[in-house]
Amino acid sequence: MNSGSQFYFKWTTLLLLFISVSNAVFARRDGVMNMEDHDQKRYYFGLSFGMNTSAFKLRPSEAFTRDDSIKSVQPGWGPGFHIGLMGSLRLSNFIDLRFVPKIAFAEKRLTAVMRSNAEESNTIESIYTQLPLQLKFKSDRMQNFRFYGLVGGRFDYDLSSNARSRRSNELIRVKPIDISAEVGFGLEFYYPNFMIAPEIKISQGFLNTHFPDNTIYLSNMVDRMNTRMITFSIQIQG
- Residue closest to 197 by CA, chosen among 128, 139, 156, 154: 139
Highest mean pLDDT among 11-15, 58-62, 92-96, 209-213: 92-96
Q: What is the span of the domain harbouring residue 65?
A: 3-237
Residue 1 confidence (pLDDT): 46
Q: Domain containing 62 — which CATH number? A: 2.40.160.20
Q: Is the pLDDT of residue 22 over 70?
A: no
Give all strands (DSSP E) within the chain, no chain letters. 43-60, 70-90, 95-99, 102-114, 119-138, 145-158, 177-190, 195-205, 222-237
Q: Residue type for 57, please?
A: K
The percentage of the chain sitting over the pLDDT mark of 90, rounded to a whole number, equals 51
**Helix or strand holding residue 26 (H, E):** helix 3-27
- The structure's pTM equals 0.84
Residue 55 confidence (pLDDT): 95
Residue 172 φ/ψ, nearest 5 degrees: -160, 155
Residue 8 confidence (pLDDT): 57
What pLDDT band is residue 165 in, cutting at 50, 70 and 90? Answer: low
| Per-residue pLDDT reduced to its tens digit, 109-158 | 988 888 777 888 888 899 999 999 999 999 998 888 899 999 999 999 99
Residue 197 confidence (pLDDT): 93
Whether the CB-CB separation of 73 and 60 falls below 8 Å is answered with yes
- Residue closest to 54 by CA, chosen among 197, 198, 199, 226: 226
Number of domains in the chain: 1
What pLDDT band is residue 202 in, cutting at 50, 70 and 90? Answer: very high
| Per-residue pLDDT reduced to its tens digit, 39-92 | 888 999 999 999 999 999 998 888 877 777 788 888 999 999 999 999 999 999
Q: Is the pLDDT of residue 28 over 60?
A: no
Greater confidence, 121 or 187?
187
The percentage of the chain sitting over the pLDDT mark of 70, rounded to a whole number, equals 84
